[in-house]
């Protein structure tokens, strides 16, 4: 835990040095207990940005190719990230996520399954819905804006304000993790909740 706080402060300093973080709704992140942060995905730095905004350690589900990348694999393991195969349903990753949630982990997920190159919210994958339904944990929508895939690495030289909007928890009742229609409905609810936060972004 002490090592995490060391990394958290370093990451927080680093992100606030290069960016101006504007955070709203952080009170929706529980101080303890398991929950799932579900966010849009617009750059390689999204996990760092969310970690800098969160008062708690977030264990992210990330693409296996990034988890195994030589330069960052040590950090992924240190932070308790969960590798996911993006080529299809990864039951091993689902089991790892459920185990972490049973131990009170705050899980971070990007339901789109990859970075949106144009910055617009893409259709969500059903894996996050499956994890939420099987765990019974609340999902907390997050929307990031102010940076995007195209703005990196130029963003480092021209720091921008990044908006992190956190919404009310999504509570699931009456849905069946074994039912495809239930998974589809929950996936749409996730996307709609993130999009609702996006609609609150003021035009510049």
Task: Inform me whether the pLDDT recorded for 6 exceeds 80.
Answer: no
- pLDDT band at residue 192 using 50, 70 and 90 as cut-offs: very high
Residue with tokens 């240190």: 78
**What's the confidence (pLDDT) of residue 165?**
97
Helix (H) or strand (E) holding 133: helix 127-135
**What's the confidence (pLDDT) of residue 156?**
52
* Token output for 153: 């690495």
| Cα atoms in the Cβ-side hemisphere of radius 13 Å centred on 92 | 7
Helix (H) or strand (E) holding 109: strand 106-109
SS3 state of residue 64 = helix
CA angle in degrees (0–180, nearest 5) for 23-113-176: 95
Task: Inform me whether the pLDDT recorded for 149 exceeds 90.
Answer: no
Are residues 78 and 88 in contact, defined by beta-carbon separation less than 8 angstroms? Answer: no
Average pLDDT over residues 116-134: 92
Task: Inform me whether the pLDDT recorded for 193 exceeds 60.
Answer: yes
Are residues 126 and 184 in contact, defined by beta-carbon separation less than 8 angstroms? Answer: yes
Question: How do residues 20-76 score in pLDDT, each as one tens digit?
Answer: 889 999 999 999 999 999 999 998 889 989 999 998 889 999 888 877 887 777 777
């Amino acid at each position: 835990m002490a090592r995490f706080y060391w990394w958290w402060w370093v990451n927080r300093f680093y992100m606030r040095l290069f960016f101006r973080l504007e955070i709203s709704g952080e009170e929706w992140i529980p101080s303890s207990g398991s929950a799932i942060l579900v966010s849009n995905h617009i750059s390689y730095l999204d996990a760092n940005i969310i970690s800098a905004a969160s008062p708690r350690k977030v264990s992210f589900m990330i693409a296996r190719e990034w988890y195994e990348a030589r330069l960052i694999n040590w950090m992924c393991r240190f932070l308790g990230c969960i590798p996911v195969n993006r080529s299809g349903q990864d039951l091993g990753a689902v089991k790892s996520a459920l185990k972490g949630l049973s131990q009170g982990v705050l899980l971070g997920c990007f339901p789109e399954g990859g970075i949106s190159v144009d910055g617009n919210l893409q259709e969500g994958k059903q894996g996050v819905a499956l994890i939420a339904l099987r765990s019974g944990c609340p999902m907390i929508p997050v929307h990031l804006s102010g940076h995007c895939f195209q703005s990196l690495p130029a963003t480092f030289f021209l720091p921008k304000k990044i908006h992190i909007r956190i919404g009310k928890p999504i509570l699931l009742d009456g849905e069946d993790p074994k039912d495809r229609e239930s998974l589809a409905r929950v996936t749409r609810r996730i996307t709609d909740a993130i999009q609702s936060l996006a609609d609150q972004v003021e035009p510049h």
